[in-house]
Structure 1
Amino acid sequence: MKPMNVPRLLRIGPALALCGVLAACATYTPKPLPNNVAWRDSAAGPRVTTRELALPALAAQRIDLQAPLDISAVAALAVLNDPRLQAARDRAGVARAQAFAAGLLPVPKFSAERDIPQGQSDATTTAYNLGLSLDLDQLITRGAAVSAAREHVRAVDLGILWQEWQTASAAELDYIALVGLRERDRLLQTRRRAIAARLGRERAAAAAGIAPRTTADADLIVLSTVQQQLAADARQRAARQGELDAMLGLPPGQALSLAGLPRFDPAAVRAAAGSLDRLPKIRPDLMALRAGYASQEQTLRKAVLSQFPSVGVTLSRARDTSNVHTLGFAIDFSLPILNGSPGRIAVERATRRALYDAYRVRLQQAHTEVARALADLTILQQEQSSLRASLPALQSAAQAAGAALRSGEITLPQAQRQAQALLDQQLALQANAQQIAERTVALQLLTGSGIFAAKG
């Protein structure tokens, strides 16, 4: 076997090592920040391909932007296009990079020395010293570090899924608010047109001297009140539309055509109520907390493993100036009492306890929120039954009052009060239906039912 040419290795070794390091290095490319708002291309419209969505009910949606969109289609569009969700998905890449780094093996360290005799010396040759060292401490804790990083990635992914749930729910609430305002304004517009028509007749009669001006003035006050309600609704509608546009990544004011309110399904509510015991396996936020707790368990395990002496091994080959060759090894370790491990263990134990308590509080809060939503739905259903039961009588009374006013049997204020009572009842019934839809959406978010239900 041909002996190793050490002097030659000393000359070319560092260059070869440098070339290897440079070949394995990543390159840097600058990415400047944008100076302008990057709206989604309004000509292309929002993304509509849903098959890659994590929620099965939304993944099955077929979205036609030319037709009125139902509540599930709007939720799917929000999950697909919300820029904040894209930013969250980008941040998940950091956790995956950390998990990759945690799985890397420790890097061996190579060292080379060369001593050249100078001046008057009895040396016979140039001395050298080659060393290869490896820190074994990282190998001892690698398993715990990798497990902690994997659970952290899972927690981040579940956190993003929970954000998708919340985005879908927020889009549904905006949808319900916009449709509710549309239905409310339909009632107010009907009332406004009736008052405006009567006001025109009353002004004509006042001009002809047939009726007093005070009659027209009384209807003008009522008309002004209705117009103020319509103006307030317009401001609220603009705010809700702006929120929905932001979720869809659209410029402000680019409204989509919406269908009607979803029907209340008592069976779905009962199914949601029956899922309380399965919340830890349904809700992504609870699952993310569990994954974060599992990650902290491994982090604590890593800290416990780190309290043992960290060991390093070095292999060396050397030649001194008198041409004596040696081959040796060295072992170094740090004393656990001096490496700060008791402090790290105490911190990790305290962190685990904090995560334990946070999960317990969140679980209790989840049960409380579900119970409150169910109680609200029960009250709203009872209120709806009462409102519907009394509506026909108010409609009949308003019609009778209108006929009596035309025949002169009652005064205008009396007819106005009866008409206002009917409008108030209709508005209350519309608000009740909107509140039931909102509470149903909240219950679905809290229990993983409706559009959040798992497949099969």
Structure 2
Amino acid sequence: MPRSPSARPTASRLPWLLSAALLAGCASYHARPLPDQAGARRAADLAAPAPPSWLPAHRFDPSDGLDVTEVATLAVANNPDLRTQRDALGVARAQAFDAGLLPDPQLGAGMDFPRHSGPGLTSAFNLGLSADVTSLLLRSSRVAAARQQARQVNLDLLWAEWQTVAQSRLLFDQVQALRARQRELDAEQRALTPLDAHVQAALRAGNLTHDQASSGLNALADVRQQRADNALALHQAEADLHQLLGLSPEAPLSLVGTGYDAMPTTAQVDAALTTLPQRRPDLLALQAGYAAQEASLREAIRAQFPAITLGVNTARDTSAIYTNGFSVGISLPLFNRNRGNIAIARATREQLRDDYRSRLLAAHGDIRHLQADLATLDARLATLAVHAQALDAARRAAEAAWARGDLDWPTYLSLRSNALAADLALIDLRQQRGTDAIALEALLGNTDLASSPADRKAATP
């Protein structure tokens, strides 16, 4: 029966409709140009979301300077390296999504044309549709491995955020300590300038020999050298902090308050160690990596069985005889049987197990080591603080006596030198103590041992 004229256009449009349906779900390309600015010009220009849940709640207000919590918040939100790791998390999630997609079926088609025309001869064709059944059987293991790998990347990102917070606190303490040293050395340079002029005048008048005046001549030069060395270290620390926060080198960096100085008790450390494998992101990431490898091993073991491909087909030969059928493809596990991949998966799992055990042992050892160091540093700080206060009082008395002319300059210089050395040693020891406290807090996790952020911001060194 001949087709109606209206049916022909509809049939002719079917390929176009099929193509449009297939292209409707396709992704499209959009250009994304590179940025042309290295970093923000001011801290206020940076994105400052609420601190992560494991940081103390704190109002962000850079107008009155940045305290240690605000610096940590900025570091987590704007650090360039963390942005790159967040992009890696997006890649891992995309890979997990890809692992869950079903394999596309394979469509095969072909046509044959007779070389000679004759009665009863026509063109032949074949059309077949097949699917990889083995890929479907391995899907659950593949998806489980990909999800655990994405979880591992997410936990690695969280651990990197913890380390970035610790690094921001270390740099905050370092900058504040170097600025405090710079103020001490600036004051000492101003105080020694009149003494240096006095010694120079006595030397020119012949009242002193060069041997007698050597300590006086070198005192100001030594302070100037210390001041220059400290300034170089301060420039480097400020540059590192600018880089960590995503600030341009020209951005002003106003820091206020003191750094992190909490000291957990022995009971708190013991309790934190008990739950360490359930809290520390790096240990949780290793656990996720081990779970992903377990799934990969199960996938490798399942893949040792024959790979199966099923298909259906229809065909017409040159005699216009139609046939329908099916096809089955099975690999013969005679030589390979996926034994190599199974051995690799098992060896990798054992390596991850030993790596986790080593990391856990190192964590316990580092925590106990820092705990002992902090106890020693606290005792040393108490002694040095009393000693520095006594020398500061002696220096003030010497300044008054020198102004009255009741004290010779070598004694005055010796008292000033001893007081300066004690003050600088106290600053360095406090920074070292802060460094160990920050490291211990990072290794233990969020133990809520920090003092109030408002108290730290109000206390300026």
Does residue 427 (structure 1) correspond to residue 428 (structure 2)? The answer is no
Aligned mate of 1:135, from 132, 136, 160: 132
Q: Which residue of 2 aligns with 1:40?
A: 39
1:10-409 alignment to 2 at 5 Å?
Answer: 19-31=20-32, 36=36, 38-42=37-41, 45-51=44-50, 53-57=51-55, 60-121=57-118, 123-200=120-197, 212=208, 218-262=215-259, 264-267=261-264, 271-402=268-399
Q: Which residue of 1 aligns with 2:456?
A: none
Q: How big is each residue's C-alpha offset from its partner over 1:172-192, in whole Å with a ceiling of 9 and x where there is no partner?
A: 111000100122222222222
1:234 partner amino acid? A
Scaled by the length of structure 2, what TM-score is found?
0.86
Contact 1:85–1:160 at 8 Å: present in 2 too? yes
Aligned residue-pair number: 441
Contact 1:444–1:451 at 8 Å: present in 2 too? no
CA distance in 2, matches of 1:16, 1:343: 47
2:411 partner amino acid? Q
> How many Å apart are 1:230 and its aligned residue?
1.0
CA distance in 2, matches of 1:90, 1:431: 39
Q: Which secondary structure state, in structure 2, belongs to the residue aligned with residue 362 of structure 1? A: helix
Structure 1 runs not aligned, ≥5 long: 1-7
> How many Å apart are 1:164 and its aligned residue?
1.1
> How many Å apart are 1:337 and its aligned residue?
3.1
Contact 1:316–1:328 at 8 Å: present in 2 too? yes
Contact 2:43–2:62 at 8 Å: present in 1 too? no
> How many Å apart are 1:399 and its aligned residue?
4.5
> How many Å apart are 1:211 and its aligned residue?
6.0
Scaled by the length of structure 1, what TM-score is found?
0.87
* Structure 1 pair 23–262 and aligned structure 2 pair: CA distance change class (3 A): closer
> How many Å apart are 1:39 and its aligned residue?
2.1
2:376 partner amino acid? I
2:225 partner amino acid? Q
Q: Which secondary structure state, in structure 1, belongs to the residue aligned with residue 63 of structure 2? A: coil
Q: Which secondary structure state, in structure 2, belongs to the residue aligned with residue 132 of structure 1? A: strand
> Which of 130-139 and 183-192 deviates more?
183-192
2:27 partner amino acid? A
Contact 2:40–2:248 at 8 Å: present in 1 too? no
Contact 2:261–2:438 at 8 Å: present in 1 too? no
Structure 2 runs not aligned, ≥5 long: 1-8, 451-461
Contact 2:43–2:251 at 8 Å: present in 1 too? no
Between the two proteins, what is the percent identity of the paired residues? Answer: 38
* Structure 1 pair 12–356 and aligned structure 2 pair: CA distance change class (3 A): farther
> Which of 12-21 and 374-383 deviates more?
12-21
> Which of 228-237 and 269-278 deviates more?
269-278
CA distance in 1, matches of 2:265, 2:55: 14
Q: Which residue of 1 aligns with 2:5?
A: none
* Structure 1 pair 175–257 and aligned structure 2 pair: CA distance change class (3 A): same
CA distance in 1, matches of 2:218, 2:270: 48
1:25 partner amino acid? C
Q: Which secondary structure state, in structure 1, belongs to the residue aligned with residue 334 of structure 2? A: helix
* Structure 1 pair 76–270 and aligned structure 2 pair: CA distance change class (3 A): farther
Let me know the Cα RMSD of the aligned residues: 3.1
1:318 partner amino acid? A
1:241 partner amino acid? E
2:49 partner amino acid? T
> Which of 415-424 and 243-252 deviates more?
415-424
Contact 2:195–2:409 at 8 Å: present in 1 too? no
* Structure 1 pair 179–273 and aligned structure 2 pair: CA distance change class (3 A): farther
Contact 1:195–1:219 at 8 Å: present in 2 too? no
> How many Å apart are 1:314 and its aligned residue?
0.8
Contact 1:46–1:248 at 8 Å: present in 2 too? no
> How many Å apart are 1:122 and its aligned residue?
5.5
Contact 1:158–1:288 at 8 Å: present in 2 too? yes
CA distance in 1, matches of 2:81, 2:278: 26
* Structure 1 pair 170–267 and aligned structure 2 pair: CA distance change class (3 A): closer
CA distance in 1, matches of 2:117, 2:396: 126
Q: How big is each residue's C-alpha offset from its partner over 1:23-62, in whole Å with a ceiling of 9 and x where there is no partner?
A: 443233455656x5x22342684424322x534325x332
1:67 partner amino acid? D
